[in-house]
């Protein structure tokens, strides 16, 4: 039998309508547009404000658009994988809710939790499922409602995060030299003290004390995370390029986790790739965690050409990090639609 390669055949996304810009944020906490922009590169972020709506709503919106764009028969979907750090509920899985709302009858669904590397890790898992030959079509979604775990009294973290979802269609092909070529992922395991949410899990269950002391929001030690992120992503990309015989000139685009523009620029410098090859939309959405990478693909789909060498790289709580090498499988200008 011919080798099966896993390729992305479509991209879609969803961001809420409400725009929280730096000016409005400065009326909520002691900050200003210049401070935020110079330190993060973020000008605005989207916030899901409607009561009773969570991550699954955005994920479903992205997946529905994806199915419309690709013309995929709902009965042909084998699996739905949702990468998220903000599930609707502790259980059931957010993916199962998305599957049910989409009316997929022949698929199974599960969540994958790897913080800001969630989409990249989920993509790797789904690619292996396709390459096994047991699955033919999988929807991979990165979605997070970061506003739900953001403390809008904390000027150090609240400018960073936004809400959104992105989705890709993953399919199998016997065409050679396209799709997922290689990945190099690592978990440090020492990141707990520097990036975490203290309460709400089994170690520190929710209580009146945890709520009163605002322990259900993201805590980040920014300088430590910055240093680890730049070093890890730079090394991961360098390793991936070396073992695949690629030089910086061979890279067409880098899809980097959108945490901080300074981090993105530092990673690009470390691997010797000019910023014009690094796809950036952090100024519009901020850090949407697992949604960052698919939202970048959604925004820049029209630029992508068949045969492009694309490097994904990310870093997140844990610490988790890594890089993936994709050979793009279609001309995006023909598939892209106006949002």
**Residue 323's closest CA among 254, 222, 224, 245?**
254
Instruction: Tell me which of 5, 22, 260, 287 is the catalytic residue.
Output: 287
Active site residue 5: no
For residue 331, count CB atoms less than 10 angstroms from its CB and return exposed for 0-12, middle for 13-18, buried for 19 or more: middle
Instruction: Tell me which of 5, 117, 135, 257 is the catalytic residue.
Output: 257
Contact of 168 with 301, CB cutoff 8 Å: no
3-state helix, strand, coil in the chain (%, to 5): 40, 25, 35
CA distance 254 to 273: 8
CA distance 216 to 261: 26
CA distance 58 to 98: 9
Instruction: Tell me which of 22, 116, 117, 158 is the catalytic residue.
Output: 116
* Direct distance between the N- and C-terminal alpha carbons of the chain, in angstroms, rounded to an integer: 40
Active site residue 213: no
The residues that bridge with 230 in the sheet, in sequence order, are: none
Cα separations in angstroms, 263 against 16, 43, 223, 319:
26, 16, 11, 16
**Longest alpha-carbon distance in the chain:** 62
Active site residue 244: no
- State the catalytic residues: 116, 257, 287
């Amino acid at each position: 039998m011919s080798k099966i390669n896993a390729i992305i055949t479509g991209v879609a996304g969803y961001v809420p309508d409400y725009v929280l810009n730096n000016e409005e944020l400065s009326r909520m906490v002691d900050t200003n547009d210049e401070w935020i922009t110079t330190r993060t590169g973020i000008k605005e972020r989207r916030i899901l404000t409607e009561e009773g709506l969570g991550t699954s709503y955005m994920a479903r919106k992205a997946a529905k658009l994806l199915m419309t764009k690709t013309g995929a028969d709902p009965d042909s979907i084998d699996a739905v994988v949702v990468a998220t750090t903000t599930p609707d509920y502790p259980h059931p899985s957010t993916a199962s809710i998305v599957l049910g709302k989409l009316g997929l009858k022949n698929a199974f669904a599960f969540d994958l939790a790897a913080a800001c590397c969630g989409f990249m890790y989920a993509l790797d898992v789904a690619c292996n499922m396709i390459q096994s030959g047991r699955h033919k079509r999988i929807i991979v979604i990165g979605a997070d409602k970061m506003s739900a775990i953001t403390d809008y009294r904390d000027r150090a973290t609240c400018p960073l995060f936004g809400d959104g979802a992105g989705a890709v269609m993953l399919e199998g092909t016997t065409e050679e030299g396209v799709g997922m070529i290689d990945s190099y992922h690592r978990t440090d395991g020492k990141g707990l003290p520097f990036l975490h949410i203290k309460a709400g899990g089994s170690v520190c269950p929710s209580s009146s004390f945890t709520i009163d002391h605002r322990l259900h929001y993201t805590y980040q030690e920014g300088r430590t995370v910055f240093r680890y992120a730049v070093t890890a992503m730079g090394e991961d990309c360098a390793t991936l390029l070396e073992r695949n015989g690629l030089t910086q000139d061979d890279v067409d685009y880098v899809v980097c986790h959108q945490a901080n523009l300074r981090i993105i620029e530092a990673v690009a410098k470390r691997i010797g790739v000019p910023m014009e090859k690094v796809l950036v939309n952090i100024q519009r959405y901020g850090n949407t965690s697992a949604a960052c990478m698919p939202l970048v693909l959604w925004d820049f789909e029209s630029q992508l050409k068949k045969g492009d060498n694309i490097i994904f790289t990310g870093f997140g709580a844990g610490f988790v990090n890594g890089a993936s090498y994709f050979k793009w499988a279609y001309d995006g200008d023909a598939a892209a639609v106006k949002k």
